[in-house]
Structure 1
Amino acid sequence: MNIDTLLGYDQELLLALNGSDSQFMDGLMMALTSGMTWIPLYIALLYLVIKNSETMGQIALIVACAALCVLFADGLADGIVKPGVARFRPCNDPLLRGVVQTVDGYCANGLYGFFSAHASNTFSIAVFFSLLVRSGILSTGLLLWSLVCCYTRMYLGVHYPFDVLVGLLWGGTVGCAVYFLYYKFRAKMSQSKCFVSTQYTSTGFSTDDIDIVMLVLVATLIYTVLRGVLH
């Protein structure tokens, strides 16, 4: 199977996932894909870190690691790979003009879309916090959040499925690598403890505080549904 065949399959899958005749879905996808929508989630994760850390140094280390996730995930995609590979976004591709559906003329920033920074950013954060907190419900929520964000990029016609897949692979790699760095530095700052309690995860995060993060995530999803209804 040659590269042209693979790209052909990529286009076919994109067209199967792209757009709909539903005003509600259009509004929902636009709300879900916006970085501004997820600010409450980021604040809730910061609250979780602050509430469950022993020192300012530990807080600073986790915040720095989360920033590294975004820097490595986004920096490689937007700063190096997109201009280097120069693969058009579907909505900018002359071969698909008039075929790809967009919402309110939205085509994201920049001509090129390989690979998806949305996919790599969200997945790197999801993987890092999953490894950090070790909560099944939080891990599931964050991983689904990332995958939903990925789907919106194809629905809106700003990324091909292969753009998203590579973004997920890179984001997962970054999340794991940054957590490894965190673990090494964390071990030097204080002795690692293993918590055995239904009130805490094995890494010492309160289940009550995790519930607050999940509540914020659910409330944000409800907000996006209302945005879809009002679109």
Structure 2
Amino acid sequence: MHMRDIKYRKLIFILLIILIAAVLLSSVFYRYDSNMVIYINSYRNPTMDWLFLTITNIAGTITYVVATLALLISFIKRLKPIKIQLRAIALAAALSGLLATALKHVIHRVRPQDVYLTIHDLGPGGGWSFPSGHSCDAFVLAAILSLVYPKKRLIIPVYCWAIAVGFSRMYLGVHYPSDILGGVLIGSSMALLAYYICTYKRPKTT
């Protein structure tokens, strides 16, 4: 068996482990993190409310605008390596969004503000709770950019932004910490999958 095929089989195995871990977060460990979201949500103030609402509201927009632009520009660029990089960004966002939506409708986890009366729902947060779609969006973008442009100074600020998005979801009272961790795992794993799909080169047969 070719070494590259072995490498991709290992990748598939790792991705399966990550997805299993994400599901375990939604079913086994979530009972332990309700106190954390209640605690974080209790320390609200008008300035922080505005800040985290802004961070939350632009998260998905940033990711899908970047992904859409990357896809469109990929049809203009002539250099193949650049095309591959741009299409990997678009594919990663699409895979993450689809998987997050599918898991929400399979797992049916109720949001914390609908369970605990002490949580002040600052929104937005409709539908099911696991995984955090906003966290998926933020971390898939951070992860795919770190894979496509590993030496760029942009990576640290993008990851700081992604962490802020995840924290904002707990601060606003619409997600558990395990929802956020699930989003991190799913977004990052889909970025990895998209990157390898786009860069995979089938070995030449002799």
Structure 1 residues 64 and 16: alpha-carbon distance in aligned structure 2, compared to 1, 3 A threshold: same
Residues in 2 aligned to 1:5 and 1:184: alpha-carbon distance in whole angstroms: 35
Alignment match, 1:81: 103
Work out which of the residue numbers 105, 113, 116 in structure 2 matches 1:91. Answer: 113
Pairs aligned (count): 176
What residue identity is the alignment partner of 2:185?
A: L
Shifted more, 168-177 versus 28-37: the winner is: 28-37
Instruction: Report the CA distance shift for 1:19/1:156 in structure 2 as closer, same or farther (over 3 A).
Output: farther
For residue 163 of structure 1, report the CA deviation from its aligned partner: 0.7
Name which of 41, 44, 52 aligns with 1:29: 52
Q: Quick one: structure 1 residues 119 and 174, their matched pair in 2 at CA, closer, same or farther if it must change by over 3 Å?
A: same
Which amino acid letter does the alignment assign opposite residue 109 of structure 1? G
Whole-Å separation in 2 of the counterparts to 1:170 and 1:4: 15
Superposition deviation, residue 6 in structure 1 = 3.6
Q: Quote how far apart the aligned CAs of 1:150 are.
A: 0.5
Q: What is the correspondence of 1:36-51 to structure 2 with a 5 Å cutoff?
A: 39=62, 42=65
Distance 2:88 2:28 in 1: 39
Cα distance in 1 between the residues matched to 2:34 and 2:198: 39
Residue deviations 1:111-159, cap 9 Å, x none?
Answer: x111111111211111111111122521111111111111111111111
Residue matched to 1:10: 33
Q: 1:180 to 1:40 in 2, by over 3 A?
A: closer
Q: What does residue range 57-72 of structure 1 map to in structure 2 within 5 Å?
A: 60-72=83-95
Q: Is the 8 A contact 2:63 2:141 kept in 1?
A: no
Q: Determine the C-alpha separation between the residues in 2 that align with 1:165 and 1:109.
A: 19
2:119 to 92, 100, 103: 100
CA separation of 1:5 and 1:15: change in aligned 2, threshold 3 A: farther
d(CA) in 1 for partners of 2:181 and 2:63? 26
1:131 is paired with a residue whose SS is helix
How far apart, CA to CA, are the structure 1 residues paired with 2:63 and 2:91? 20
Output the TM-score relative to the length of structure 2. 0.71
Q: Which runs of 5+ in 2 are unaligned?
A: 1-25, 202-206
1:20 is displaced (CA, Å) by 2.7
Determine which of 164, 167, 170 is the counterpart of 1:148: 164
Which is higher, the Rg of structure 1 or of structure 2? Answer: 1
The equivalent residue for 1:221 is none
Q: What SS does the aligned partner of 2:153 have?
A: helix
Out of 154, 177, 184, the position equivalent to 2:200 is 184
Say if 1:129 and 1:40 are closer, same or farther in 2 by CA, change over 3 A.
closer
8 A contact 1:102–1:157 mirrored in 2: yes
Q: 1:149 to 1:114 in 2, by over 3 A?
A: same
**8 Å contact kept, 1:19–1:26:** no
User: Quick check: 2:120–2:173 contact (8 Å CA) kept in 1?
Assistant: yes
Please say if residues 19 and 157 of structure 1, whose CA atoms lie closer than 8 Å, have aligned partners that are also in contact: no
Cα RMSD (Å): 3.4
Paired residues of 1:124 and 1:174 also in contact (CA < 8 A): yes
- Tell me by how many angstroms 1:173 deviates: 0.9
How far apart, CA to CA, are the structure 1 residues paired with 2:167 and 2:186? 17
